[in-house]
Structure 1
Amino acid sequence: MDSHQLYLTSWLKKRFKNKWIKAVVILLASVCLFIVGLYISIYLGLFGELPSKKDLSSIKQEQATQLLDQHERLIGKYYIYDRQPVAFEDFPQHLINALVATEDSRFYKHDGIDNMSLIRVFVKNLIFQDKSAGGGSTITLQLAKNLYGREDYMLFSMLINKFKESIIAKRLEAIYIKEEILTLYLNTVPFSDNTYGIESASLKFFNKSAKELSITEAATLVGTLKANTYFNPRTHAERSKKRRNVVLHQMVNNGYLSKDSLNFYTTQDLKLDYHSFNHDLGIAPYFREEVKQQLEAILDSIKTPEGKFYNLYKDGLVVHTTLDVTMQSMAEAAMKEHLTKLQSDFEASYGNNSPWNLSSEVLKSAITNLPIVKQYKEQGLTDAQLMDSLRIKRPVALFDWNDNIIRNVSILDSLKHYLKFLNIGMLSIEPSTGAVRTYIGGIDYRYFKYDHISQSERQVGSTFKPFVYTAAIEDGLKPCTYFALDKITYTDYDDWTPTNSGNAEQDPYINYTLEKALSNSVNTISVKVLNEVGIAKVLEQAKKLGISKELPNEPSLALGTAEINLGELTGAYASYVNKSRAVKPYYITKIEDKYGNVIASFEPKVSRKEAYSQYTRQVMLEMMKSTVDRGTASRLRNTYGLTNAIAGKTGTTQNNKDGWFVGLTPNLVTVTWVGNDNHSVGFKTTRMGQGANSALPIFAKFYQKLNRSDEFSAITKAKFENASEDVLKDLDCKPTKRDGFIKRLFKKRNKQKKFN
């Protein structure tokens, strides 16, 4: 042993005789042993099994199912975590630069653990309690946390979780190259509004794919990673802008952005194009819900290559649908424009004697049918106690056309509020296939879950009359057959006497052709036509048109007292512009797995058989063109100025409960219904409630918007085929004629007869 070693040994012996130094050394050694022991125990899995390199090499993240329209534009998603992965090649370089500059400037220099940063954190954060020192976390460490989360270990949670993440980070760096780690990170990191991954965040906040993000947009999203709620650009715009500018400065400091451009970018306004994919919000919520119901049934019969069933919310499926997002937005805008005014007129027409008035029998009945009322009665509450309970107020978000509001209201207030609203069902399909292009099941899915397309059946009123006339012409009745306007009492049906609205029946000696009668929706003649052809043949014709429901076997069928699903009605009407073949509306064209493999595909459901002859179809189409040009739907021309090739039919039901309009164009069939969810509440007047006033304007405004876009020229500029010479010849007659003197002399007024 040389002199230096002897000196050191002597020095240590002297120092260890000092009990304080000895205690500190023992303490430090104990801490080191504890940390080493803790690390080894974590590594061995005593605090939970760590993912192996094999596990990490096949990372499977839950992914949202995407719903695309016919042009592959995103409509919505089904998810537990809103995550939508993309490849590294789809990340713009300025996005990568912003991320690295802000979150981990030494990312390309370390192997998952940045020891220099950890030392800084240990000294500043743990020893000096400087919370501004940061966490010393690398992108790889953050990825480990994003993938596997953190658990609560009480006193040493932070240390244990950090050790676990460091082990996982080391393994990740050993398996993946830096680009792959960045890809995994950007596809899993949580952004604001419960959004996971850069693609989902980009679509939500800027309505564009991540590859299209500008420098300022990329910096905005990267800036939210520090605290995605605190820097949420939707709720804290100014705060988010300041954070964005910090990111831009970091890009300059790390050489990713020139100093000269900094002022240009930092002075730009924060502009969002926010699109929520929350199921209750966004475009076509009723359509998305209907597709979800169909998907759940479809996926019950399809298995993955591993033999497992697909999970709609986790497996990253891509569902291609028939909807057209642009058309859908136009339809929704048209609906809002019209119903906002119609709702105001509807409420004003009732004044103080409305069905939602507290003294109204309608409201009293609605109260009785409330589930909470039934519960209260089972609990033995008296009527007085029950009403007191219904009057307890609480803050509630209420629907309103002008602006949704939060008010202190009771259950009773809420019931009265919602009882007054008119609702809608609107469906547009491609007639040759049944492909659904627009779908509005109600006015606002957040507050009105009931879908008036898939769930509802309402009386269809005069929209059923074309089916009666179709059966009659198919049975041989000539289009120029004349029927008198006069009323008839059918004695075998409780002396039922159908009447006409307006002034049409003032002259009982006037006779109309079928075309005139249908285009003016004359009730008395429709019943007479039904009587002529027979109810049985009309019922059979309806079945051929795809109407599956058993319809009433009685004369009132001619006036549309049958309740029919809107989707079936639309598919039946499509036959008039689809070579006499009915269709079934369909929604999904194909489903792909997350790798792009088609796991299911669907074809249009078009009837193989003609429901009636081509002669009948052309006659009916000419009649319904007259409805638009000269009949009950003529306001399409003279009020809304539409010059498109359009045929159609209006409809109004008993006591003005339902307003309908069917619009036929060569390449699009649209059916619109407007009414109250409560069957007891109708329009105050026929003038307001008739289909021409309540439902037709939505179609008109929708087509006005289509006409302004060259994108839809194939629809708006399409022309009907020319009717055959035989059809034109058979329709070539005077629309009306008056009985001669002798016939008038001997004609009985208010005739009575039995129905055939």
Structure 2
Amino acid sequence: MFGLWGPVPTKKQLSEINQSEASQVLASGGELLGKYFLFDRQSIPFDELPKHLVDALVATEDARFYEHNGIDGQSLFRVFFKTILLQDASSGGGSTITQQLAKNLYGRNDINKIGIVVTKLRESIIARRIEDIYSKEEIIELYFNTVPFSDNTYGVESASNKFFNKSTTDLTLAEAATLVGTLKASNYFNPRLYPKRSKQRRNLVLSQMVTYKYLHPELATNAQMDSLQLDYQYFNHNRGVATYFRETVRKKVSAILDTLRDENGKPYNLYNDGLIIHTTLDFKMQQYAEEAMLLHISKLQQSFENSWGNQAPWIKNKSLIQAQVKKLPVYKKLLKKGFTVNQIMDSLNLKTTKEFYTHDSIVKMQASVIDSIQHYMKFLNTGMISIEPATGAIKTWIGGIDYNAFQYDHVTQSKRQVGSVFKPIVYTAALENGIDACSYFSKETITYEGGYTPQNTTSSDDEDPYLNYSLKYALSNSVNTIAVQLHMETGIENVIAQAEKMGISSPLPKVPSLALGTAELSVLEIVKAYTAYTNDGFVSEPIFISRIETKEGKTIATFDSSNSEEKAFTDDTRHLMIDMMEATVNSGTAKRLRSTYGLQNDIAGKTGTTQDNKDAWFVALTPKLTTVVWVGNDLNIPFRSTSLGQGANAALPMFAQFYQSINRDGNYRNITNARFESLPEHLQAQSECEDTKRDGFFKRLFTNPDKPKEFKEKKKKGGLFSIFKRKDSN
């Protein structure tokens, strides 16, 4: 009492108990996405504790709880004589719920036989002081919020969510008895690890409830007949739903909290203060996206590996493998110690038991560090995001195939060549700079300054050299040569200015090849740019946190959507661009959305494939959702063929399978049934012009189709233009 064996908390200190609590990340519908914690704990008030849970605790742990003042003298006397005098290790703890609470709050240091008596006395003093300050209900509440459960979980609310995926309020009698049963020995009676043992303990708890008149025998019998059904939730930072998203939220919230102070002027702590972080992510939609990703990528990975066969770079390319080895900290450490390269490589070839990620599971095998590097070199990765264009609210976020194996976010951190998904920006700039949507261009091959000669992905040798194509046809079929011609006629500076109006902030190269997406941009930048097409021409600023609250429910930060101050382009351009990109889905490079996947929704889109088939993209626009998908290898190992690596094959199916899922879910009818605006009447003619137009007689007479074409620039009022002027449709 006087602190001879260490300090004992005063009543004042006990009245100011403030336990560390996990901060929660919630989806837009209130579903728990994950937690940030030092101890996995979240509080729940007494009035939300089910009566059968409280009764189970009292009946099992402290039958005279409502009668004593914190100390059960009879139990304490038994412990003293049986443990010390008779040396009976099975005598039991003898602690009341209040004494256990004292242990939960302040822990134990001494574990020898004399030390346990001192500890019990110390806890008795604390228990008496707790009883003087708090009511019995408040003690029960404190107990349930601090007691450790299985799997390093603190507090019944966290345990309920972890083992049964529900709030404590919704626990059944059998579930409540299961959790109370683990308190005797949280690991020994862990229902995940030892279900049979846990069930036996649960049934004993139910019997105790009958013994102390808390439960009718018939109800106990029925509960004992229930099978032990867990709905286990992993709240590991590297596991579960939306792992990449949660890490982005963690970084953002940490930065926000640095600018905030509580009512006492102290900074908030993400890991201790039990904050509630509300996000824009749609929980079910995220699950659909992740399911679609795993389904598609696992099949694509197999095709990718099969296409390379024994010639795979992760097998044959020794210089590529060694380059990855040299990045390892262990390699650098050994090199610094004076070991030769050969000695280091020999040591890294020694085999030990290692865990390897696959799309289906984690497998153990005998392997070396070199084997591990080769294993992970081969994986295709992905970035996928869906955003609500009207608000900027991010609804799904996939930063990669597995956060535990690849902690690199391909939504924000990765920048890759964007390929043909940049073409709509070129076409938008062209329309904004006065080029008519019914302009016609030839597919002819032209050499530009510096010897750059873009080619189309499909041969056009057998095509009529005098045939010209509309902008709508050229975009929907992703004709490279026409995209570059249009880019040059519009003016590179004008195209870059248009991209910046659409929210592109990364530097863009001032070269003809920009039209084909040689710029390196992030998935987030692309989705931001495309929001303007379905947001009345305004660019939406992506947001993923709506508000942050304290554990008491006080809002300390809010985040609203915002649009660009000015429209990125006119309404006429917006209507025409959506019309062109709808053609991409209906009859162009993305037509398998209709033919293969049977999607009949209003969808506009653009596929993208980069040089040497290293990157595959797909952008999907629906009236209320904008989605971007990227697929590729982190080491730029290309797809072996265009048929395998093109955006329509490597990226589009992820969106298609995702959208099939939300089509089947009636809760998303407001998204899937939404329709694009009808094309205004004054634009109908530009939408309905013929796909092709043949040069007239005199043009054919004086044009030599076999003569190589070279691009030449002339100075003209209004900027640069090509000698290959647009050809009017009239």
Say whether the fold is shared (TM-score over 0.5): yes
User: Which residue number in structure 2 is paired with residue 525 of structure 1?
Assistant: 482
Q: 1:703 aligns with which of 659, 677, 690?
A: 659
Q: Deviation per CA, 1:726-752: give whole Å up to 9, x if none.
A: 222222210112334543442343312
Give the residue type in structure 1 aligned to 2:191. P
Give the residue type in structure 1 aligned to 2:474. A
* Residue 716 (structure 1) shift: 0.7
Contact persistence 2:446–2:454 (CA under 8 A)? yes
Q: Could you list the runs of 5+ residues in structure 2 that have no partner in the other structure?
A: 714-719, 721-730
- Distance change in 2, residues 1:386/1:117 (3 Å): same
* Structure number with larger C-alpha Rg: 1
Q: 1:694 aligns with which of 650, 654, 670?
A: 650
Tell me the matched-pair count.
Answer: 711
Q: RMSD of the alignment, in Å? A: 1.4
* Residue 609 (structure 1) shift: 0.7
* Residue 418 (structure 1) shift: 0.2
User: Which residue number in structure 1 is paired with residue 359 of structure 2?
Assistant: 401
User: Which residue number in structure 2 is paired with residue 246 of structure 1?
Assistant: 204
- Distance change in 2, residues 1:70/1:240 (3 Å): same
* Residue 367 (structure 1) shift: 2.6
- Distance change in 2, residues 1:209/1:351 (3 Å): same
User: Which residue number in structure 1 is paired with residue 683 of structure 2?
Assistant: 727
* Residue 155 (structure 1) shift: 6.8
Contact persistence 2:146–2:155 (CA under 8 A)? yes
User: Which residue number in structure 1 is paired with residue 259 of structure 2?
Assistant: 301
Q: 1:52 aligns with which of 4, 7, 10?
A: 10
* Residue 360 (structure 1) shift: 4.0
User: Which residue number in structure 2 is paired with residue 628 of structure 1?
Assistant: 585
Contact persistence 2:84–2:113 (CA under 8 A)? no
Contact persistence 2:534–2:621 (CA under 8 A)? yes
Partner secondary structure for residue 671 of structure 1: strand
User: Which residue number in structure 2 is paired with residue 639 of structure 1?
Assistant: 596
Partner secondary structure for residue 527 of structure 1: helix
Q: Deviation per CA, 1:311-341: give whole Å up to 9, x if none.
A: 0100111111100111000100000011111
Contact persistence 1:252–1:258 (CA under 8 A)? yes
Contact persistence 2:418–2:521 (CA under 8 A)? yes
Between the two proteins, what is the percent identity of the paired residues?
Answer: 53
Q: Deviation per CA, 1:448-493: give whole Å up to 9, x if none.
A: 0000012111110000000000000010111110000111111x22
Give the residue type in structure 2 aligned to 1:353. Q
Give the residue type in structure 1 aligned to 2:660. Q
2:15 corresponds to 1:81: no
Q: Deviation per CA, 1:140-165: give whole Å up to 9, x if none.
A: 00000000111238673212211111
Supply the distance in 1 between the matched residues of 2:492 and 2:630 (Cα, whole angstroms). 26
User: Which residue number in structure 2 is paired with residue 142 of structure 1?
Assistant: 100
User: Which residue number in structure 2 is paired with residue 604 of structure 1?
Assistant: 561
Supply the distance in 1 between the matched residues of 2:337 and 2:80 (Cα, whole angstroms). 62
Partner secondary structure for residue 414 of structure 1: helix
Contact persistence 2:80–2:117 (CA under 8 A)? no
Partner secondary structure for residue 357 of structure 1: helix
Give the residue type in structure 2 aligned to 1:609. E
Q: Deviation per CA, 1:199-231: give whole Å up to 9, x if none.
A: 000001111000000011111111111111111
Q: 1:736 aligns with which of 692, 697, 709?
A: 692
Q: Deviation per CA, 1:82-120: give whole Å up to 9, x if none.
A: 110010011111111111111111111111111111222
Partner secondary structure for residue 310 of structure 2: coil
Q: 1:160 aligns with which of 112, 118, 121?
A: 118
Q: 2:529 aligns with which of 557, 565, 572?
A: 572
User: Which residue number in structure 2 is paired with residue 662 of structure 1?
Assistant: 619
Q: Deviation per CA, 1:229-267: give whole Å up to 9, x if none.
A: 111111111111111111111111111222223332112
- Distance change in 2, residues 1:486/1:360 (3 Å): farther
Q: 1:101 aligns with which of 59, 65, 73?
A: 59
Supply the distance in 2 between the matched residues of 1:264 and 1:286 (Cα, whole angstroms). 43
Supply the distance in 2 between the matched residues of 1:663 and 1:489 (Cα, whole angstroms). 32
User: Which residue number in structure 1 is paired with residue 170 of structure 2?
Assistant: 212
Supply the distance in 1 between the matched residues of 2:111 and 2:585 (Cα, whole angstroms). 74
User: Which residue number in structure 1 is paired with residue 339 of structure 2?
Assistant: 381
2:284 corresponds to 1:329: no
Q: Deviation per CA, 1:499-545: give whole Å up to 9, x if none.
A: 00123564233211110000001100000000110000000011111
Deviates further, 644-653 or 395-404? 395-404
Deviates further, 579-588 or 196-205? 579-588
Contact persistence 1:358–1:364 (CA under 8 A)? no
Contact persistence 1:485–1:509 (CA under 8 A)? no
Supply the distance in 2 between the matched residues of 1:167 and 1:621 (Cα, whole angstroms). 74
User: Which residue number in structure 1 is paired with residue 500 of structure 2?
Assistant: 543
Partner secondary structure for residue 476 of structure 1: coil
User: Which residue number in structure 2 is paired with residue 583 of structure 1?
Assistant: 540
Partner secondary structure for residue 293 of structure 1: helix
* Residue 175 (structure 1) shift: 0.8
Contact persistence 1:468–1:530 (CA under 8 A)? yes
Supply the distance in 2 between the matched residues of 1:712 and 1:44 (Cα, whole angstroms). 65
Map of 1:57-456 to 2, 5 A cutoff?
Answer: 57-152=15-110, 156-456=114-414
User: Which residue number in structure 2 is paired with residue 36 of structure 1?
Assistant: none
Partner secondary structure for residue 546 of structure 2: strand
Supply the distance in 2 between the matched residues of 1:520 and 1:747 (Cα, whole angstroms). 26
Give the residue type in structure 2 aligned to 1:58. E
Query: Segments of 4+ in structure 1 off by > 6 A?
Result: none
Partner secondary structure for residue 731 of structure 1: helix
2:601 corresponds to 1:613: no
* Residue 134 (structure 1) shift: 0.6
Supply the distance in 1 between the matched residues of 2:204 and 2:113 (Cα, whole angstroms). 34
Supply the distance in 2 between the matched residues of 1:549 and 1:431 (Cα, whole angstroms). 21
- Distance change in 2, residues 1:504/1:56 (3 Å): farther
- Distance change in 2, residues 1:509/1:242 (3 Å): farther
TM-score (ref. length: structure 2) = 0.96
Supply the distance in 2 between the matched residues of 1:664 and 1:505 (Cα, whole angstroms). 34
Q: 1:718 aligns with which of 651, 660, 674?
A: 674
Give the residue type in structure 1 aligned to 2:526. L
Give the residue type in structure 1 aligned to 2:76. L
User: Which residue number in structure 2 is paired with residue 501 of structure 1?
Assistant: 457
Give the residue type in structure 2 aligned to 1:667. K
Supply the distance in 2 between the matched residues of 1:360 and 1:480 (Cα, whole angstroms). 52
User: Which residue number in structure 1 is paired with residue 716 of structure 2?
Assistant: none
Contact persistence 1:432–1:583 (CA under 8 A)? yes
Supply the distance in 2 between the matched residues of 1:124 and 1:106 (Cα, whole angstroms). 21
* Residue 376 (structure 1) shift: 2.5
- Distance change in 2, residues 1:698/1:175 (3 Å): same
Give the residue type in structure 1 aligned to 2:16. S
Map of 1:463-482 to 2, 5 A cutoff?
Answer: 463-482=421-440
Supply the distance in 1 between the matched residues of 2:323 and 2:215 (Cα, whole angstroms). 69
